[in-house]
Structure 1
């Protein structure tokens, strides 16, 4: 009881006042921005922010990215920038997710091409404000690609190892993109033009794939390409092979483009992995191989994969069936040695294409929609012709192996089938 009136030592009073001050930090959001900034770089910030501020708040993130991991020189540069930014009426300092970008602006603020005092936020949207601020400070001619600015402050591209912040500074000074010293691959002037047109949100690797497709006038394949090994593997590693496969697909515009990825996966398996029955073939190439053969091999290989390794979209395609046209199959000759059979599922189309060395598989979609029917003519079980019939019951295409024309005997049996089934034939069906 006697200790109640005992004088409190000066050190204890100082500690109590510090504790009271820390308690008031819970209301740091109500402080003016200038006061928050002063506290951020003060000696008390390390203890106070760690114990009294929410870890995901703006203040905590500012401390983590602008103070805790920075040298004294870097802190000074960032503080110099932030002290000027707080004088602008901007929402940037109220968004935790934008703090890393602001820290990088501070680090490179000395390289600005315009003064911050001349900048006005274009809207209330913080993300639009960040883009506007970056262009104002670092884009002298307004031609830095959106995907480059979008990577400001991010970690280097995991495939290309490219620092997009440095690239933005380089282009922003009016330098050619292809002259940037950190590029992982040499770029032509034409490729640079395409790279600058790549969609916002791309990494450098994705933008480079866009440029490769732009050279082929195939930018509509970007999503398919990025979802395949062409998009996943580092630049330069088998690019020519995957692009050659892409060219095969582009030559068959009716083919489901999402088969491109599984075909590339099968090729990689044959080249680099192999199986107990057949070892890997590092020298595997497309020479002498048709797209029909690649599709058939891919389908058979994909069925051997476990459920976790299968592509759900591709499996759905492999399992696709259709009722077919209301045209009966045909049997002719002694013992029915001549057969005309309609193909009613995708594996059957793949098998027909592989055996006949043409890409009849690209009719899968039109068969499902009932627009066409595909029939196979066999002699004693040997495939001879592939026949295309329209929904109007008209024969419009007749092709043998390697797309050859029908022989006289084959044509005679096809005409018998047409007569029995009461079908018509287009004049051009027998022509090349």
Structure 2
């Protein structure tokens, strides 16, 4: 148990500085070098300080120090233990000269670290209401997105946001304020854009989660694609993905490609035919194989009362394997071929086998430079299930892989099947052996009968 020692100054007892305070003040003062995350709090905080100049814009270092010390004083210990939260504080410090309130006036309310961070961001930068989804900008690295939050927090209009990639109408700007809280910034832009064009809730969601959120180049053309999709009211997500991939390839082949005069049924038919030919070309080319990453495969067998379930995580090490995975899962993993060939990423597939039937639960992307799982997606790029997440985390722990993907949003899904009791497994094994024995008896009987029939017929 830690003992607090007080020293006397005049007539007052002075509490000594905590070890954390001493660490922060030392790192603030010294000219530290970027050392990267070495698994210690000192290395994370030190790296953040090292990225801030001691001679230019010194308010960044001062703001970062003040945030750390005030959070400790408020007892936000869980928040200060999270690397992601420390990096978020450093991002906030980069805009320390734009804060609308004093840091020292913020008080901890909730216990959860995520809610504390959300409250702190609003306290520092928002005099006016800002969409909740935009808070995630401070957890990432795009400073432009962080500045959008600050602009809206000052009361500026969405239409005045600096460096915005899409030309918004007033209706789109209004919808941007109503984007669901769990959306990323890119998804939010596409959602508001679709709603501004009059999309239904379902169609806006489909467009937001489609591959359109991955790029904002050639917006004049892609705006016509979005308007075309909006007119269809409701479309299957996987069909939209396939058609978008087809359109992108047509545009790359012909810069004059246009959506004028097109209808959905014809476009879907053309896309289907093109995808068949594309698959044939990929098979014929057999373009590339690459060396395994060195990360081990994973296998697990779970016996329940009804059946035996096998889970396997395997690495995909060819263009053909990537294409088949993408076709089965209705996503664009095939586009990661070049990164795999360069050794930058590795793609794995989590598969479940029951009664001879195999189902792909997740496609997994690993950043090989930082040994981190950066994506884990189910079919149609959905978040993976709770069942898949349990297997994935077990494998990640075994292979010492960091987790940096969008985790499953827990709902009512059943957990991973639990193994049957040992007694039941032994009983089932005996029954299986008995069944095998009976099968052999019947086989010999049938063969004997057939031989006898042949002899009779030959006479």
Give TM-score, length-normalised by structure 1: 0.55
**Counterpart position of 1:176:** 157
Distance 2:39 2:214 in 1: 32
The aligned residue for residue 218 of structure 1 is 200
Q: Is residue 97 from structure 1 mapped to residue 84 from structure 2 by the alignment?
A: yes
Which of 202, 222, 243 does residue 239 from structure 1 map onto?
A: 222
Greater shift, 54-63 or 233-242, is seen at 233-242
Report the alpha carbon displacement of residue 63 of structure 1 after superposing the two structures with TM: 0.6
Match of 2:252 in 1: 272
Match of 1:312 in 2: 328
Contact 2:52 2:61 (8 Å CA) reproduced: no
d(CA) in 1 for partners of 2:37, 2:247: 51
Q: CA deviation at 1:98?
A: 0.8
User: Could you tell me which residue of structure 2 aligns to residue 145 of structure 1?
Assistant: 131
Whole-Å separation in 1 of the counterparts to 2:264 and 2:189: 26
**Structure 2: tracts of 5 or more residues without a match:** 1-16, 283-319, 332-459
- Deviation of the 1:111 alpha carbon: 2.8
- The 3 A distance-change label for structure 1 pair 31 and 54 is farther
Cα RMSD for the two superposed structures: 3.0
Distance in 2 between residues matched to 1:102 and 1:299, nearest whole Å? 48
Q: CA deviation at 1:78?
A: 2.5
Higher relative contact order, structure no. (Cα contacts within 8 Å, ≥ 6 residues apart): 1
Equivalence map 1:179-190=2 (5 Å): 179-190=160-171
Q: Say if 1:40 and 1:311 are closer, same or farther in 2 by CA, change over 3 A.
A: same
8 Å CA contact 1:58, 1:99 repeated in 2: no
Q: Distance in 1 between matches of 2:179 and 2:328?
A: 29
Q: What TM-score do you get using the length of structure 2 for normalisation?
A: 0.52
Residues matched between the structures, number: 266
Q: Which residue of 2 aligns with 1:25?
A: none
Q: 1:269-308 alignment to 2 at 5 Å?
A: 269-273=249-253, 281-304=254-277, 305=279, 306=282, 307=320, 308=322
Distance 2:70 2:46 in 1: 17
Q: Check whether the contact 1:61–1:99 (CA below 8 A) recurs between aligned residues.
A: yes
Question: In structure 2, how many angstroms separate the alpha carbons of the residues matched to 1:203 and 1:185?
Answer: 16
Q: CA 1:135–1:272 in structure 2 vs 1: closer, same or farther (change >3 Å)?
A: same
Q: Deviations over 1:368-390 (max 9, x none)?
A: xxxxxxxxxxxxxxxxxxxxxxx
Structure 1 152/265 Cα, relative in aligned 2: closer, same or farther at 3 Å?
A: same
TM-aligned CA deviation for residue 290 of structure 1: 3.3
Taking structure 1 as reference, are residues 230 and 38 closer, same or farther at Cα in structure 2, changes over 3 Å only?
closer
SS of equivalent to 2:141: coil
Q: Which residue of 2 aligns with 1:390?
A: none
Question: Highest Rg: 1 or 2?
Answer: 1
Correspondences of 1:129-144 after superposition (within 5 Å): 129-141=116-128, 143-144=129-130
Aligned equivalents of 1:94 and 1:56: distance in 2?
11
Question: CA, structure 1 residues 249+311, in 2 after alignment: closer, same or farther (shift >3 Å)?
Answer: farther
Q: Secondary structure at the match of 1:249?
A: coil
CA distance in 2 between counterparts of 1:201 and 1:68 reads 30
Q: Distance in 1 between matches of 2:215 and 2:93?
A: 34
